[in-house]
Copies of this chain bind each other. A is one copy, B any other.
């Protein structure tokens, strides 16, 4: 059994637990994601030179960071060059096991909350304050919207 599965299971039990216990309050999941991301990025970037700029940081998140956790890179990165970044994963691991009918879309938010937090925590540790939300319109694809907070 791979460790990948271990992480998947622990994540999925965490989702079940937080959602069942707290009447669908996803803030807890997001927060656990935040602290996890904050620590993971510290380890990942230990031997890295500083990033050139915000875009450079985002590229690292889309490649090395994403691969470390989800074993694939982000498929598409877009930005308006004014602090909004959209990271698209065409086959997001935590949504892969959801059936693809549109009636299952309603279950998607609880499977993306942890990862939204993880993105926010990683960026925070790299000096970028942001708001991260997720948009799921066609399973198992997912777009993560990052809005960088200025000043």
Residues of A within 8 A of B (CB): 1-7, 9-14, 16-17, 28, 31-32, 35-36, 39-40, 43-44, 68-69
21 A-B pairs, CB-CB below 8 angstroms? Answer: A1-B40, A1-B68, A3-B3, A3-B4, A3-B6, A3-B7, A6-B68, A6-B69, A7-B7, A7-B10, A9-B36, A9-B39, A9-B40, A10-B36, A12-B39, A13-B36, A14-B14, A14-B32, A17-B28, A17-B32, A17-B35
Measured between C-beta atoms, what is the minimum distance from A54 to chain B in Å? 23
CB pair A13 B1 closer than 8 Å: no
Extra contacts besides A6-B68, A17-B28 (15): CB < 8 Å: A1-B68, A2-B3, A3-B4, A3-B6, A6-B7, A6-B40, A9-B40, A10-B10, A10-B32, A10-B36, A13-B32, A14-B32, A16-B35, A17-B31, A17-B35
Q: How far, in whole Å, are A13 and B35 apart by their CA atoms in the complex?
A: 7
Measured between C-beta atoms, what is the minimum distance from A138 to chain B in Å? 27
CB pair A1 B43 closer than 8 Å: yes
A6 to chain B: closest residue by CB: B7
Measured between C-beta atoms, what is the minimum distance from A112 to chain B in Å? 16
Chain B residues in 8 Å Cβ range of A10 = 7, 10-11, 14, 32, 36
Measured between C-beta atoms, what is the minimum distance from A97 to chain B in Å? 12
